[in-house]
Structure 1
Amino acid sequence: VLFALQASAEPAPVELSPGGSLPPPQGVSVLHRPEDRGRRVALTWRPVEGAFGYQVYRAESADGEMVPVGGRADDSMRDYPVFLDDSAVPGKTYYYAVATVDEDLREGSPSPRVSAFMEPAAVAAGGPKRMVCSLSDQRIYFYEGDQLVNVVRCSTGLNNATPTGNFRITGHYRVHGGLGGAVCDYWMSFTSSHGIHAWPRGSSRYEAGLGAPASHGCVRLHPLEAYWPYYWAPDGTPLTITYASLARRVVTGCHDTGGIEEPWSEWYFAEGCTDFGFDTFLLLSNPGDSGITARAHFYRDDGVTVTEERYLLPHSRLTVPVDQLPGLEAASFAIHVEAEGPVVAERAMYFTMGNRDDGTVTVGTKSLSREWYFAEGFTANSFDTFLLLSNPGEDATTARVYFYLEGGGEARYDFLLPPHSRQTVSVDSLPAVASASFCIRVDSDMPIVAERAMYFNLGYIGGGHVSLGAPELSNDWYFAEGCTRNFFSTFLLLGNPTGQDTIVHVDYQLPEGDLRYDYLLRAGSRVTLDVGSQGGLSGQDVAIAVESDYPIVAERAVYYNLDSHRGGHAAIGLRSGSNNWYFAEGYTDGAFDTYLLLSNPGSSPAFVNVVFLREDGSTFGAGYMVQPRRRVTVHVDDLPGMERASFSMNVHADQPVVAERAMYFVMPRGY
């Protein structure tokens, strides 16, 4: 028999005591997610080893009294590192501190305070609320429309005792009594005898059983965070309980690519996959004044070619979900795009593989080449590297792949590529480079296309990134993106596949000035530079210009662990600035953030005009002044008219600039 004990907001379900020995979390920061604006304040921090959870305090002035406003379980924080304060009032500034709680419910000293301004109004409607409880994941996922806003760990019924199906929240009970006289806080009923609630009071260890079935059929939550669903979900909120795993259906991460200097009628990609937890999208942009028909040829690994034809309206972009095309439902393939006129093509992929989930993207190459170069490659420490070689030609060819090891050493492997085919080379399986860092040179008898994909586990980050090769070496390389602020790690990879030692001069362009470092890059080797570890370069937003005495190849990799968008991205450098840059991809709907990075490597200010071509055919423009040897970051989600939009971008400047586009996302997949 269930009975309600109390419906008020008191007493607090967990009584904490001072005297804990665990340190406060580091890196307490305010998040600025589109889904939170005007609705709540979002915070994040680095988890503390051995923590049971975290208590969050809030004051209304910099030296005001701190009062508790909520908590977060340590395991939930590691799954989805976001704390949400839905009680904040729009238009006010608050000051937050976080204390670590140990398993004996003792809290340590609080962190330094951080300020957060609550936006006065939501940018766009969030959509109806709903919850999905995955019995396989032992997690509850919280959505506002199509936006995943929170994830908490739970514990469901033993022996399949938790009912499955579609339900609604039918009642809220601040304190509730259950079977056997157990007293539970923050009870939300979804049947006459089942509820979502905090772990029962009186347990010797509150967390015992969370993360695995343990209840009589209810859904139990961590006592420090059970209040949040209780106040977030009103009566009537839909609840789906399913055995389906959403851990494999929620893709979080980031990707980045440099722009392309001009539209073209042909584009090539070596990578594409719709099997093994991958989703592939082909993005096509038509910046011209006339409609264009484009044909995409997909060369499957089994030798079958699938062709899809699409019409592109003028001044618009088109998204092709490759998984939905007949013959490509579960396939690996290369792509060749042919259009009747100039277009821009990108390929984006989102994946979940075990504990790795992320997204990758690249613009295509407009021409084949007999040579390709990569500065990055790593097969140690939970990194896996793959080389994708595509031969879209009519004749077979042999590709010779040379690996130049960091610290010296060289290995070579040869691969036969039949016509209209592609080959996936698992570099980790090659004995000479099975646990190494290296740069790569590909030399083919006939023109081909080459990409490199890497998948990794780096601390709490499990993800992947991809890069198209450079068809030639260069003395100059430019990057508009780079960040060494808290939760970001940026690496510059320099590869020298030649027989000549060289000095590399790297100009790090910071908001307040430049720093220049010189490096010796030996012949036939590769160097890895941890940008943030060098003097004066930590805690910075940075653009990078590389100048070498002799031609080399350069890439930049960024790894990100700030919030729910954990992942990594890598990009080959751009060999020069340009007055024009084009991107086919851009998205600000759901939990996607799109950033345009504009760097001016010149000596005079550059005026940059950005034209956004929405998928619905409308266009928007914005102008920016980029000072010499500086960079500007454009958060597209903040621009009026660009909320919840799919778009491509045309960048036009009055003198050469460098442009990259970075995207951070949480992408729910269907279940």
Structure 2
Amino acid sequence: FTTFMTKLSAAVHTESSGWQVSVDTYSGSASWDGGIFKVGDLAPVVDAFFIMAYDMASGNNSQQAGPNAPLNGWTYNDTNSVQQYLTKAPASKVILGVPYYGRKWSTRGTAPNDFVTSGSQADTYDSILSELSCAQQLRHSWDPVGQVPWMSWWSPQTNDPCGGNYGSWRELYYDDPTSLGLKYDLVNASNLRGTGIWALGYDGASKDLWRILSARFTGGSTQFYFAEGFTGGGFTETLSLLMPNQGGVATIDYYLTDRTLTQSATLTAGKVTTVDVNAAVGANKEVSARVTLPGPGMAQRDIHFNTNWVGSTRVVGVTSPATEWNFAEGSTDPAFSEFLTLQNPNPTPTAVELDYFTDRGDHPVKTLTVPANSRATVIVFLGDLSNKTNCIPSAAGANCGVGRGLLGVSVRVKSALPIVAERPFYVNGHDFGAGPIRDGHDAFGATAAATQWNFAEGTTLPGFYEYLTLQNPGSTAASVQLTYVDFVGRATVKSLTVDAHSRSTVLVFDSTNGVGRNVQGVSVQVNSNQPILAERPMYMVWNFGTGTVAGANVIVGARTFGQLVEFPAASTLNGDNAYLTVQNAGGVPAHVTATYYAASGPIVKTLVVPAGTRHTILVFNATEGAGPGYGPLPILVDSDQPVLIESPSYSSNPSTYGAVDTVGYPAVRS
């Protein structure tokens, strides 16, 4: 066969250099050289291999029902097949074939991979959708190893509504948007030539499979990742999706501890689409998410909680995984409960290292493995200060954390494969001086240390407790300068040293390294002679005019300023107090235009922020804001000078109670 293909390829390429020759090969063809397809010998003479990575069930075990195209496990699976081909052919010549059909059997019962009593039958995706609507005693399941869906149902001997009349249990293993998305992730992660389908038309009129194909391979899409998420009792999680200039269909991949699933959401240009995560994944789930928009836009996640903790968190997703995430803020004092959530969107497990830095100088290191296409939760307040290999992140025996009693804890998360890391942090009723707080805050880590960090928001009015947490991951002490600028442009400069492999906490409301009390609005620029990390946690008990908010929020410092930023879903509904804080650190006044996209039409306001000052916009006030009664309210802010803009918001409403803050996301001009 190799000789034949050598001659055929030569003849075809001689006829036209633009013509290409591909060969269809089996999933296991690259695992040995004893068959008809000697992949290593064929690689130099063909343009591509189309791996027929399906119909693997019989080869894996002909006596049991099983995945038609498993991602992992068994003898034959997609992951092994790709790895084997890449040892004998360049990735640019490998096409991973995927099935638009499944395999079904009569079985003894309904157990996973139950023993079969008949041979298998192919079932196209279009026919599978019909089975879903007619089958009796239908049960949906997920194969956590093969990473595919499967279902079982009873087929009566007569009057079967699906027409089978088998008089037995039936099991069907197939591929859906979720499992195909995972296979496409393998294609992209391995930098393969692409994917192929057997066969076009097997999906009938359904658009589900085409949407996931478009989401994974169409250029111009935007992705947002969220590591944290929980749908337990008292927790409500939503995603706010916005595409300012075009509509389309967004794809949302949810990563649970034992499986993944995929959902679609239709977006209208300039309108916020709200996705109910609780309804999508069910109750009591730890969940991460990846949102794929078909064009420029943004995705925001809000979590509201009313349990032992009462409050809200809000973040805009990060646009890519990374192999390093740094968190300057953290504490395992009994007043707080700190967690790390780690999302692994890769088709293979990854090793993760947690390097902790405490204000006492401790530096324990813990390692763990996060399974493929899943998420893990690390309970930071469980464990001790010793190094641990293969630590347990949560549940019984959890020891990936550092234990209770550490007032200041920073952590650097490093991984073999790119992951996403967040740090949920809750206040356990602690009183900072103005009343107990049970709110929480959440942040993504910074992907690298830097010598400058900027914060637009800040206040030291009574009832507000603003801090800066500074982490020095390096081996040299850092000399740090803090430049505070208030709303009239008055600057206050403080200096301190952050020891190597340590962290320090600055009380902004104290005059030692801060500005002291009763400064209505203050921004800060952090400069260091060594790369460091900086965050700004803030706690408050304050009546904003609609009721007292006992809240908490946090922001990782910004390294750059921008001229066009957006916020997807502010609110000025009754009880919601939204602000914009604008920091102009430059030497030229900034002319700012804020456009509020209300349902009734855009509301445009202009203002000037003098050079070297910061300014607060009351979004709920019609002078510079949209005024009361709007939500969800997208905001676009345009400036003729580089500025930094945050959007702190405080809600006294029971359903959205708490304090949140986000930094403006860079927008694309229409």
TM-score norm. by structure 2 comes to 0.59
Q: Is the 8 A contact 1:293 1:312 kept in 2?
A: yes
Aligned match of 2:604: 621
Of 276, 279, 282, which aligns to 2:239? Answer: 282
Aligned match of 1:530: 507
AA matched with 1:605: P
1:478 aligns with 2:457: no
1:266 aligns with 2:245: no
Distance 2:327 2:626 in 1: 38
1:378 aligns with 2:331: yes
Q: Is the 8 A contact 2:233 2:283 kept in 1?
A: no
AA matched with 1:458: H
Larger helix share, 1 or 2: 2
**Residue 339 of structure 1, CA deviation:** 1.3
Aligned match of 2:296: 342
Aligned match of 1:441: 412
Distance 1:345 1:532 in 2: 33
Look up the SS of the partner of 1:341 in the other structure: coil
Aligned match of 1:180: none
Look up the SS of the partner of 1:323 in the other structure: helix
**Residue 669 of structure 1, CA deviation:** 4.2
Aligned match of 1:519: 496
Aligned match of 2:341: 388
**Residue 352 of structure 1, CA deviation:** 1.7
Label 1:668 to 1:511 Cα distance change in 2 as closer, same or farther (>3 A).
closer
Distance 2:368 2:653 in 1: 36
**Residue 602 of structure 1, CA deviation:** 1.1
Q: Is the 8 A contact 2:315 2:443 kept in 1?
A: yes
Q: Is the 8 A contact 1:439 1:496 kept in 2?
A: no
Aligned match of 1:413: 366
Distance 2:347 2:571 in 1: 37
Aligned match of 2:463: 487
AA matched with 2:231: T
Q: Which has the larger radius of gyration?
A: 2
What do residues 16-46 of structure 1 show as CA deviations (whole Å, max 9, x unaligned)?
xxxxxxxxxxxxxxxxxxxxxxxxxxxxxxx
Aligned match of 1:580: 564
What do residues 311-332 of structure 1 show as CA deviations (whole Å, max 9, x unaligned)?
221122222222233x333311
Of 507, 511, 514, which aligns to 2:483? Answer: 507
Which sections of structure 2, spanning at least 5 residues, go unmatched?
Answer: 1-219, 386-401, 657-670
Name the structure, 1 or 2, with higher relative contact order (CA <8 Å, separation 6+): 1
AA matched with 1:314: A
Distance 2:582 2:614 in 1: 5
* Root-mean-square deviation (Å): 1.7
Look up the SS of the partner of 1:408 in the other structure: coil
Distance 2:583 2:356 in 1: 32
What do residues 635-656 of structure 1 show as CA deviations (whole Å, max 9, x unaligned)?
1111275422111222221111
**Residue 520 of structure 1, CA deviation:** 0.5
| Matched-pair identity in % | 29
Aligned match of 2:518: 539
What do residues 59-116 of structure 1 show as CA deviations (whole Å, max 9, x unaligned)?
xxxxxxxxxxxxxxxxxxxxxxxxxxxxxxxxxxxxxxxxxxxxxxxxxxxxxxxxxx
Of 412, 419, 443, which aligns to 1:467? Answer: 443
**Residue 439 of structure 1, CA deviation:** 1.2
Q: Is the 8 A contact 2:485 2:613 kept in 1?
A: yes
Distance 1:525 1:585 in 2: 37
Look up the SS of the partner of 1:637 in the other structure: coil
Distance 2:539 2:581 in 1: 17
Size of the aligned set, in residue pairs, is 403
AA matched with 1:522: D
Distance 1:658 1:341 in 2: 25
Q: Is the 8 A contact 1:476 1:576 kept in 2?
A: no
Of 617, 620, 642, which aligns to 1:656? Answer: 642
AA matched with 1:532: F
Of 553, 569, 577, which aligns to 2:533? Answer: 553
Distance 1:300 1:387 in 2: 15
**Residue 617 of structure 1, CA deviation:** 6.9
Q: Is the 8 A contact 2:584 2:610 kept in 1?
A: yes
Q: Is the 8 A contact 2:304 2:655 kept in 1?
A: no
Label 1:600 to 1:611 Cα distance change in 2 as closer, same or farther (>3 A).
same
Distance 2:409 2:655 in 1: 35
Aligned match of 1:592: 576
Look up the SS of the partner of 2:509 in the other structure: helix
Distance 1:348 1:532 in 2: 28
Q: Is the 8 A contact 1:315 1:617 kept in 2?
A: no
AA matched with 2:423: R
Aligned match of 1:292: 248
Label 1:264 to 1:347 Cα distance change in 2 as closer, same or farther (>3 A).
farther
Look up the SS of the partner of 1:273 in the other structure: coil
Label 1:408 to 1:562 Cα distance change in 2 as closer, same or farther (>3 A).
same
What do residues 411-445 of structure 1 show as CA deviations (whole Å, max 9, x unaligned)?
11112111111101000002122221121101100
Q: Is the 8 A contact 1:577 1:601 kept in 2?
A: no
What do residues 505-552 of structure 1 show as CA deviations (whole Å, max 9, x unaligned)?
111011240001111011100000000111643111211111111111
TM-score norm. by structure 1 comes to 0.58
1:369 aligns with 2:322: yes
Q: How does 1:232-271 map to 2 (within 5 A)?
A: 265-271=222-228
Q: Is the 8 A contact 2:221 2:292 kept in 1?
A: no
Look up the SS of the partner of 1:532 in the other structure: coil
1:644 aligns with 2:598: no
